[in-house]
Structure 1
Amino acid sequence: MGIRVSDKILQNVEKPSRYTGNEWNSVKKDLKEIDIRFAFCFPDVYEVGMSHLGMKILYHLLNERDDTYCERVFAPWVDMEAK
């Protein structure tokens, strides 16, 4: 699910873990079993977005629904933006 970022690019950014996904407590769903795929776009970098309580609550509430799959998307840091 999601897009795989090339190892060559990840070797040239300050914090590659910002872009690899699969963090603890992330929800994974079978795309064939859902009706709504929702991208929750946060207008700041990963560390700021993941510490935002409102985002955590909404991510959880959306993914509680059997028909909905919510994924988180964050703005890149300047090093990745340049890539």
Structure 2
Amino acid sequence: MSTTINVKTLRHEMGRIIERVRKGEDFTVLYRSRPAFRIVPVVAGLDLGPAEADSLYGAGAVGRSKDGLAAADHDRILYGEPRS
């Protein structure tokens, strides 16, 4: 069951909320008295499948990098080393 909190509570108690989420709790966050989003724990061992199945993997450049890295460097950061 989800615990409902508002954005103000989220801002002021972020550290405690993160710890509770790490222990398995989830939260529904209200913005202007309406549900806006949920915070849920990451499922351990989540398998996202091969990087090649991601539609963004290997996509062409859409601009210039401001950090000096090449697209292949960014892919490596995001997806890890390619699988053999």
- TM-score calculated relative to the size of structure 2: 0.29
Name which one, 1 or 2, has greater alpha-carbon Rg: 2
Q: Which has the higher contact order (CA 8 A, sep 6+)?
A: 1
**More helix per residue:** 1
